[in-house]
Amino acid sequence: MTAAKQDPIRVLLVDDHAILREGVHALLAREPDILVVGEAGDGQEALDLVEELRPDLVIMDIVMPRMSGLEATRRLKELHPEVRTLILSMYDDEEYVVQIIQAGARGYVLKRVVTEDLVRAIREVHAGGSFLYPPVAATLIGDYLRVTGGERPAGDGEPLSARERQVLKLIAEGNNNNRIAEVLGLSRKTVDTHRANAMRKLDLHAVTEVVKYALRTGLITLD
């Protein structure tokens, strides 16, 4: 008996540059297990086409007119959590990477390396994994070490209380203090105190630093 043929991975391409979309489309057309089902020029068009085409995965640029890839990724996670998002961007700045991870993206690939890495990223993200192009991952890890002073991941000797760890985890997942208070059944003032204490103990000064610390120590993951 022959094995049943698997359906191809249905991909929607989203980028405001038609030439880049054409190039990526041509690259993916060579892969028998990947099928490009549509293209969009901005985040809003992407949301509309997801409703119509039901792709398995969206390859998303970040900076686009009408609606950015960041906002579109947030909305996709809310409206269609079964659809996975893979970012294809020219930016390797940590701010973009951290924000897009918070928004719900499962992978990040740089446009300057659109080769077999993109194909591998598509397959890994579709299978339920995550993919950060190595230089992007190296940048994040280096930043974590600078932020934490090379400290060990959370565990024995971790200075945070259990509640402070809960608060930090929720911050890293993109929740504001009001939402955290609602989730944990605490007052806003109490959440403010836990947040301030945790960030003071770890010498963190911004949400992006909290996200990097949470990834570095395993409070949150990309899975």
- Return the domain boundaries, the chain: 9-132, 151-217
Q: Which amino acid is at 2?
A: T
Summarize the confidence of residues 42-46 as an average pLDDT: 96
Give the residue with greater pLDDT, 209 vs 147: 209
Residue 119, both tokens: 């194909």
Is residue 140 very low, low, confident or very high in pLDDT (cuts 50, 70, 90)?
low
DSSP secondary structure of 69-87: HHHHHHHHHHH-TTSEEEE
Q: What is the percentage of the chain residues whose pLDDT exceeds 90?
A: 37
* Average pLDDT value over all residues in the chain: 82
Question: pLDDT value at position 26?
Answer: 93
Summarize the confidence of residues 145-174 as an average pLDDT: 64
CATH number of 9-132: 3.40.50.2300
Cα 19 from Cα 29, distance rounded (Å): 15
SS3 5: coil
Q: Which amino acid is at 85?
A: T
Going through the chain in order, the beta strands assigned E by DSSP cover 9-14, 34-40, 57-60, 84-89, 107-110, 131-132
Question: pLDDT value at position 148?
Answer: 45
Please give the class, per CATH, of domain 151-217.
mainly alpha
| β-sheet with 84-89: strand ranges across | 34-40, 9-14, 57-60, 84-89, 107-110, 131-132
Ramachandran bin of 98, using left for φ above 0, alpha for ψ from -120 to 50, beta for the remaining angles: alpha
Is residue 156 very low, low, confident or very high in pLDDT (cuts 50, 70, 90)?
very low
Cα 6 from Cα 24, distance rounded (Å): 22
Summarize the confidence of residues 44-60 as an average pLDDT: 96
Q: Which of 30-34, 58-62, 104-108, 152-156 has the lowest mean pLDDT?
A: 152-156
Name the residue among 171, 175, 165 with its Cα closest to residue 202.
165
Indicate the burial class of 85 (C-beta count within 10 angstroms; 0-12, 13-18, 19 or more). Answer: buried
